[in-house]
With several copies, the nearest count.
Chain A
């Protein structure tokens, strides 16, 4: 492991965009400015718009040249860490490799430059792609029908919960509550609440799993359903999932499966075979589409037959090789977004699925599990692991046993000095000072070994030289940032 920071790096002292040309010049002169895309007479003032409806001054955005903009964002990018740069074991986020084929095909004019209101017969290739992607997701998950409309995982959750709601409503069965295990991701309760449900937290057992008995206890006719993630956020497979689902179904409830962790299951087991009624897919996690510094993602939602009537409109249909939009679905929950979903993300996921095929996807899951378990075993002697004996695609350590002056946050920041992106921290909430590591299948044994070595060294530093952790990171463009100060007196925009 190379000791941090022998040499200093060229870190640009890059100002904010607005500080690049601090004094806004008057309208630039002919030569220096961008010629009009079409040759049009330059009239001073739009004639048909009353001046009361016009802006008084142009927006205050500096007038820059292309090289300045290019350099500004190129430099800013160098302050960022992506999967392309190094190991990014952000738990629950599946930071796998983003194949460049995906990007190339998504940029094809036939995909990028088609208008959502073009007649269906002008976009047959796109509709076919969507139709085939939906079918592939159904096959992977064991669900009966899939809508690609939601824009992200949380959006898929909301969509799913609204369908559950519509389902009950259609049967005149007004239910108020949704059960959610304490291991759940924050979006689960938030989505349930957004769908108008009261959230009831269900405790998991000491084994980190949800138990059918517990669920049965909470289950009654006021409960619309249960929302759970499998494998859960501890990286554990919910072994009692079938029994849990049965307990829910017995009382007329439905089971929502958060599919964010599907990277652990492809070709191994299918949510649809476990009693799950509705699930969302995170294409930006399992299906290799880039995370973009926080999106865009895509959160298609899959359902069993009984929920199909409630899917958002439109649905893409196929009849004798012709694809079309079906808007005529009276029981649909309606639209959850402006159009048909994040098509550009679907293209990428579609390319990935074709490239790997069934075999390749299964191998991805197998190797993701192998990688996580390797880390689990290699690190469990150095960091406390609440569930030391098993995991699927990720494993969660706690801060137990760390010297009291050292926090999980310190540990995360210190990892930066070793050249790694930190894992997810302080989640799931059921683990104190959690450190959630998801290596994904994309990492080599060499990389994992380097990470292990760094972690072991840091655990030693934590004991012998805690200051190294507390003052970390040292090798980043800025030192540890004061989050409290940011929140106390928020500065949320630049001001001259």
Chain B
């Protein structure tokens, strides 16, 4: 039998117990004219073997990253996913449970989420983190809304957004804010690729918050200490965004530089790219603001006998209690992805993560040098982590397409997002690339250039 265990005899016995002749009688409440009256046109039931074969063919109609050289990043990074991660995620106890409303039978999820929160706090340098958001873009939008709750009197002040915020994050913030009447102001960049602090200072008065990303969209590391110093005397909420979470192992975390909120994507931590989802959003803040945070929080408590245990807590912030007054509408979040990140981080350990981060950085630097030697200049001079922008001197879209044809995803052509950068390519380098792979890219680019 397929997925439904009822035998015909069961069905008959149940109908009899209910006191109806057939199942149709059970939807007497549905007015006849609203009934479908035909079969859904979705084809016949298929065996597992047939569906598997079809899906395999469809999967193979995609060119996967395990069979390409991937220099694409821009918010999604092709890192190694340790096999331990899917092996543990696939355990039914984790996979097929839901939101741990009933704590006593959900301590597995709850303790893991508590660990996740702790890990995010440690990595971001903040004080409190929630149990996940959908993705980095949504986390950023929610961070802006949280800023609004933190400054309830500032009903109209603009949101300052660094020009180097990931465009998809920017777009999501715009969608979330559009109806609010709140303005979004762009803070442009210095020629070196980092956010222009003078322009930032000029826009401070009355602003609700600043949203800046580091490493930024162009791969440049923002100078958090300098940014925080620039806004020191302002009341604005400082939102730091991180799209390459691995950088947090190497770079000074925004939380060590007086950020108020840190949000971003945790996809780098054991989560496959999967055409963009499911990824992992995280959001961290300060203890003082915890009641203004969106999303689930797991807290430590004890049972009657004093045994430590964990529960969902502070749920008066949430929609199921506070409804329209909730801090967010989020319900189902990205729990399993948060678990993936937790297992990933536990597997790497602090030193392992740092070593991996350094390795990513060094490989990227090496590629930069190789490219420079081949005549390709970096577009920006600010230091980077594992991603950087290169000036091709030719239409980047065309170049990228030609290299894609050769099995090399050379990077993201920036023209689609920034027309003025249409000759630039955003290149990411991870531990999945070897020295030879770097050389292959350089050679291919050089060839195309000629």
Direct contact of A and B (CB under 8 A): yes
CB contact between B51 and one of A82, A85, A187, A351 (< 8 Å): that residue? A351
Contact (A82, B104) CB under 8 Å given A25-B9, A65-B2, A124-B62: no
Contacts of A357 in B (CB 8 A): 42-46
Report how far A427 CA is from B34 CA in the complex, Å: 28
Report how far A45 CA is from B254 CA in the complex, Å: 20
B440 at the interface (CB under 8 A from A): no
Contact of A114 with B65 in the complex, beta carbons under 8 Å = yes
Contacts of B44 in A (CB 8 A): 35, 357-359
Contact (A339, B275) CB under 8 Å given A61-B345, A445-B6: yes
Contacts of B33 in A (CB 8 A): 242
Contacts of B434 in A (CB 8 A): 38-39
Q: Name the prevailing secondary structure of the A interface residues.
A: loop
Find the residue from A37, A153, A273, A359 having the highest chain B CB count within 10 A. A37
CB contact between B224 and one of A53, A416, A442 (< 8 Å): that residue? A53
Find the residue from B1, B100, B272, B343 having the highest chain A CB count within 10 A. B1
What are the interface flags for A13-55 relative to B under an 8 Å C-beta threshold, 1 for contact and 0 otherwise?
A: 0101110010111111101111111111111001111101111
106-120 of chain B: CB within 8 A of chain A: 106-109, 111-115, 117-119
Find the residue from A50, A367, A493 having the highest chain B CB count within 10 A. A493
B236 at the interface (CB under 8 A from A): no
Contact (A370, B107) CB under 8 Å given A54-B251, A140-B42, A193-B325: no
Report how far A28 CA is from B9 CA in the complex, Å: 10
Contacts of A83 in B (CB 8 A): 92, 96-97
Contact of A55 with B253 in the complex, beta carbons under 8 Å = yes
Kindly specify which of B156-164, B201-209, B361-369, B442-450 makes contact with the partner chain.
B361-369
Contact (A40, B363) CB under 8 Å given A33-B2, A48-B383, A80-B97: yes
A128 at the interface (CB under 8 A from B): yes
Contacts of A358 in B (CB 8 A): 39-44
Contacts of A104 in B (CB 8 A): 52, 83, 86-87
Contact of B17 with A377 in the complex, beta carbons under 8 Å = yes
Contact (A293, B9) CB under 8 Å given A34-B2, A110-B60: no
Contact of B96 with A337 in the complex, beta carbons under 8 Å = no
Contacts of B309 in A (CB 8 A): 478, 481
Contacts of A493 in B (CB 8 A): 114, 117-118, 121, 127-129
CB contact between A337 and one of B76, B137, B326, B336 (< 8 Å): that residue? B137
Contacts of B301 in A (CB 8 A): 481-483, 485-486, 491
Number of chain A residues close to chain B: CB under 8 A: 216
Contacts of A140 in B (CB 8 A): 40, 42
A97 nearest CB neighbor, chain B only: B3
Report how far A360 CA is from B431 CA in the complex, Å: 21
Report how far A494 CA is from B128 CA in the complex, Å: 10
Report how far A95 CA is from B265 CA in the complex, Å: 28
A261 CB to closest chain B CB, in angstroms? 13
Contacts of B350 in A (CB 8 A): 24, 58-63
Contact of A490 with B347 in the complex, beta carbons under 8 Å = no
A56 at the interface (CB under 8 A from B): yes
A195 at the interface (CB under 8 A from B): yes
B109 CB to closest chain A CB, in angstroms? 4
Contact of A111 with B274 in the complex, beta carbons under 8 Å = yes
Contact of B6 with A82 in the complex, beta carbons under 8 Å = no
Contact of B59 with A103 in the complex, beta carbons under 8 Å = no
Report how far A118 CA is from B188 CA in the complex, Å: 28
Report how far A196 CA is from B123 CA in the complex, Å: 34
Q: List 5 A-B contacts (CB under 8 A).
A: A16-B111, A29-B8, A46-B365, A295-B335, A358-B41
